[in-house]
Amino acid sequence: MLKKLLLTLLLIFSFNSLAFAGDWHELPDGICAKYAAQEFEQIAPSPGVNWLNKNSFWVEQAHEAGWVTKADVHDAMEGAIVEWEGLNQDEGHVAIVRKILADRIIVEEQNSGNPVGIKSYTFGGRQHKSTVTEGWGKTTQRAIPYSALINMDTKKFMGYIWPVRQADYDKNPSQYAISLTSQAEIQEPRYKGFKEYWFITYVLKEFDKIAPAPGVNWHGATETWITSAQKNGWATTTDPMSPQLGALMIRINPTTKNAKVGIVRAIKNNTITIDSRKTSLYPISQSFVLNELSAPDKDGFIFLGYILPTRS
First CA to last CA across the chain, in angstroms?
Answer: 86
In the 8-state DSSP scheme, what is residue 291?
G
Q: CA angle 8-9-10, nearest 5°?
A: 90
What is the pLDDT at residue 86? 75
Q: How far is CA 129 from CA 22, 55, 57, 120, in A?
A: 16, 10, 16, 4
Cβ-based neighbours of 79, under 8 Å, separated by 6 or more: 39, 40, 43, 44, 96, 97, 162, 163
The CA-atom distances, in angstroms, between 161 and each of 21, 100, 273 are 17, 15, 38
What is the per-residue DSSP string for 171-233?
Answer: H-GGGG---HHHHHTPPPPEETTEETT-TTHHHHHHHHHHSPTT-----S-GGGHHHHHHHTT
Tens digit of each residue's pLDDT, the chain (312 residues) = 433 333 332 222 222 233 335 789 999 999 999 999 999 999 999 999 999 876 568 999 999 999 999 999 999 999 999 999 876 555 789 999 999 999 999 999 999 888 899 999 988 888 888 889 988 999 999 999 998 887 766 678 999 999 999 999 999 999 999 998 999 899 899 999 999 999 999 999 999 999 999 999 999 999 999 999 999 999 999 999 999 999 999 999 999 989 999 999 999 999 999 999 999 998 889 999 999 999 999 999 999 999 999 999
CA distances from 236 to 69, 74, 306, 308 (A): 51, 44, 6, 6
Task: Give the SS3 label for residue 272.
Answer: strand
CATH topology for the 194-311 domain: endopeptidase fold (from Nostoc punctiforme) (3.90.1720)
pLDDT recorded at residue 42 = 96
Domain with CATH 3.90.1720.10 in the chain: 194-311
- Tell me the β-bridge partners of 191: 194
pTM (predicted TM-score): 0.82
Report the CATH number of the 22-186 domain. Answer: 3.90.1720
Residue 140: per-residue pLDDT: 92
Per-residue model confidence (pLDDT) at position 126: 84
SS3 115: strand
